Structure 1
Amino acid sequence: MGVIVLAMAGIYIFNKISLHNEASQIKDYGEKIEVFDGMINVVEKGQGQETIVLLPGLGTGSPVLDYTPLTKELENDYRVVVIEPFGYGLSSQTKRDRTSANIAEEIHEVVGKLNIDSFILMGHSISGIYSLNYVATYPESVKAFVGIDNSVPDQPAEKVDDRMTNFLTEAGIMRIMVNLSPNLKNALTFDGIDKKTYQQNLMLNLKNYNNKMIRNEQQLLEKNIPAARKQAFPKELPVLLFVAKDTVELDDNWLEWHKIQAESVTRGEVVELSGPHSLHHTQSKAIAEKFKQFMNEK
C-alpha cells in the first residue's frame, strides 16, 4: 500500500513540475480579443474575399493547431478565422456557463470585433449544436454551414460522469496514459504536422485537458443538445455535412440523422468520408475540394 501511495505522489509531483516547465515552452500565437470577462484567442489565415469561421470539437487542446491541415487547404482562397473558445488553446477561462447561448454570444462578439459582417460557419463535433444556436440568434451573419462530423440535435444527451476523468487528470495519470497509449498519441498526429508542432499540440492538450471550462461544457451537454431540438437551420441556408465512416460504423443512426438535417434545408448535402471522427486530420484535401465545389454551385 505504501509503495502505491509513494508512486501516486511521485506521478502527481512529476505532472505538476512538467506543467510548470511546459508553460514557458508553449509558444504564443494569434490575437487575444477581450470578450466579456476574459480573452479569446483567434488566428487568421488567408486574405480571400469570403470568410470562413472555424469552431472546434469539445475539449480540443489547441483548435488552431488542430485545424492546421484544413486551414492550409483553404487559406489560398478564403480568409480563415479559427476561434479558440474560453478554456481552449491560448484563450483564458470565464465565469460564464458553457451554454449554447453564451458560446454563440461570445462568437458573435469576436466576429464583430474582427469586423466580419457575413461568413461561412464551419464546425466540428459539438460545434454543430452551438452553430444551430448561432444561426437562430444571428441569421443575417451566416452564409452557409459546413459540419465536420458535427453533432446533431437527434443524438442522445446523456449526463456525463467525469469523476474518473477528473481523478486521472488531477493525479497526473493522464500524462502517463498519453505517453504510453498509441491511440492517444495518434489523436494528436495528423497530416502535415511536424515534430515541433506535435510537441506544442501535446503540451497545450495536457495544459487544457479537462479544465474547468471543459468540465462545465461537458455537464451542460444534457441541456444544450435537447435545447437544439427546438432549433433548425433556415430553409434557405446552404448546408454541407461531412460524416466520418468510423462514426457511422459505431452508430447506426449517425448517417440518417445527418441526412435528416440536410433535408431540412433547400440545398443540403451529406458526404461520407473514410476516416475517424476528426476528419480534418486526414481528409482536409477532400473536405476543401468538395466545399469549394459546393459553394460554387450557388
Structure 2
Amino acid sequence: MTSNVSKARKILSVLLKIIAALAILVLLFVATVFAVDRISSASEQKKLQPYGQQVTVDGKQMNVLVQGDGEETIVLLPGYGNAAPGLDFQPLIDTLTPDYRVVVVEPFGYGLSDPTDVERTTENIVNEIHAAVQSLGLDRYILMAHSISGLYSLDYVNRYPREVTAFVGLDSSVPSLSEQKIEASDVAPIRWFRDLGFDRVQLKLSADPYEGLAYDEQTVEQLHRLMRRNMYNDTQLNEVVSMFGNFQAGQQQSFPADLPVLFFLQAHHPAVAEWIPEHEKQIANSEQAEVMLLDANHYLYRSHPQEIAEGVRAFMQELK
C-alpha cells in the first residue's frame, strides 16, 4: 500500500513539473512575442514616410492624398480595415489621374489619420469624410467607394446630392447583405491578442496580399508597416461593433433615381450567390446605371486598375 502511494506521489510530482515547465515555456513565448512587437513597432514608426496631407476634422488630423490635375474630381473611399488607402489605391490612382484629380480620404483609424473615440456610426463617418472634402474646397465630384464604404456612400449621396455627380462602387457593400452582429464584448479578446503582439505573428504567417501586383518595393514596405500599426486598432474595432446597426439603417435608403451609378463587381463571389442580383436591385430604379463584372477577387482595384479606369471614363463620357 505504501509503495503504491509513493509511486502515485512520484507520478503526480512529475506531472506537476511538466505542467510548470509548459507554463513557463508559454509565458516565455508570450513575453518574447510581446517584446519583439514593442521593439519592432517603435522601429517601424520611425521608418514611416508621410504621404498626402493632413486636414483638421473635429480637432483631429485626417490624412488625404490628392493626385492629378483633371477637370473632374474623384473622391475615393476605402473598404474596412484598409491599412493605408493612399498607398493601397496607388495602381488605380495612377490609371485615373491622366483624366481626373483623385482625392483619397483616409477615415479616422486608417492610414496616417488619427484614431477617434467617436462612435463609428454611418452618420458620424459620413460627417467626418464630408468635412475633409469640404476642407479641400470640393463642391462637385464623383464618389468612388470600395466594400463597406459603399454602405456609407449610400447615406452620403442622399445627404449631399448637389455635390455628388455620380457614384462608382468597387465591389461595394449592399445593405440587404448584412454583416453578422458583433457585440462589444466579442472584440475584447481581439484587443488582448493585439496588445500582446500576436497580430504581428498573424500577419507574418499570412500570405502577402500585394505579392505579384503592380506595387513597387518601397510602397509594399510602407503598406506592411501600416498593416502592423493599424491592425485591430480601437477605432476599427468600434466600427466592427457598429457595422450591424449601420447595415440595418442602410436598408431604409436607396440611390437617388437621377444619380448615375456604376458598379464594378467580382464575377464569382466565393460565398454570396446573391452578390450580383442584390446590386442589380439597388439600381433597378436608376435612370443611368451599369454593372461591370471582373474576373477578380474582392480587391479588384489592385488587380484590374486599367479596366476600372477605362470603364469609368466610358461611363462618364456617356453622361456628357
TM range (shorter): over 0.9
The answer to whether 1:289 aligns with 2:310 is yes
Q: Which runs of 5+ in 2 are unaligned?
A: 1-22
* Counterpart for residue 194 of structure 2: 169
- Match runs of 1:235-274 below 5 Å: 235-246=257-268, 248-274=269-295
* Counterpart for residue 151 of structure 1: 173
State the alpha-carbon separation in 2 of the partners of residues 92 and 189 from structure 1. 28
State the alpha-carbon separation in 1 of the partners of residues 297 and 160 from structure 2. 31
Shift of 1:255: 0.9
* Counterpart for residue 158 of structure 2: 136
Deviation string 1:218-253 (CA, Å, 9 cap, x unpaired) is 10001101101111111000000111134x232111
* Counterpart for residue 297 of structure 2: 276
Which entry has the higher C-alpha Rg, 1 or 2?
2
* Counterpart for residue 108 of structure 1: 130
Q: How many residues align?
A: 294
State the alpha-carbon separation in 2 of the partners of residues 173 and 228 from structure 1. 34
For the Cα contact (< 8 Å) 1:52–1:80, is it kept in 2?
Answer: yes
- Match runs of 1:175-214 below 5 Å: 175-182=200-207, 185=208, 187-189=209-211, 191-214=213-236
State the alpha-carbon separation in 2 of the partners of residues 258 and 57 from structure 1. 17
State the alpha-carbon separation in 2 of the partners of residues 225 and 211 from structure 1. 21
State the alpha-carbon separation in 2 of the partners of residues 291 and 231 from structure 1. 24
For the Cα contact (< 8 Å) 1:53–1:80, is it kept in 2?
Answer: yes
State the alpha-carbon separation in 2 of the partners of residues 20 and 257 from structure 1. 45
Which letter does structure 1 place at the counterpart of 2:168? V
For the Cα contact (< 8 Å) 2:199–2:231, is it kept in 1?
Answer: no
Between the two proteins, what is the percent identity of the paired residues?
39
Q: CA RMSD in A?
A: 1.3
The answer to whether 1:53 aligns with 2:78 is no
Deviation string 1:27-59 (CA, Å, 9 cap, x unpaired) is 011110000131110011100000000000001
Shift of 1:189: 3.8
- Report the secondary structure of 2:162's partner residue: helix
The answer to whether 1:64 aligns with 2:89 is no
State the alpha-carbon separation in 2 of the partners of residues 219 and 266 from structure 1. 35
Q: 1:190 to 1:99 in 2, by over 3 A?
A: farther
TM-score by length of structure 2 reads 0.89
Shift of 1:268: 1.2
State the alpha-carbon separation in 2 of the partners of residues 267 and 250 from structure 1. 29
* Counterpart for residue 42 of structure 1: 64
For the Cα contact (< 8 Å) 1:129–1:153, is it kept in 2?
Answer: yes
- Report the secondary structure of 1:3's partner residue: helix
For the Cα contact (< 8 Å) 1:157–1:226, is it kept in 2?
Answer: no
Shift of 1:78: 0.3
State the alpha-carbon separation in 2 of the partners of residues 181 and 88 from structure 1. 20
Q: 1:164 to 1:244 in 2, by over 3 A?
A: farther
State the alpha-carbon separation in 1 of the partners of residues 259 and 32 from structure 2. 55
Q: Which runs of 5+ in 1 are unaligned?
A: none
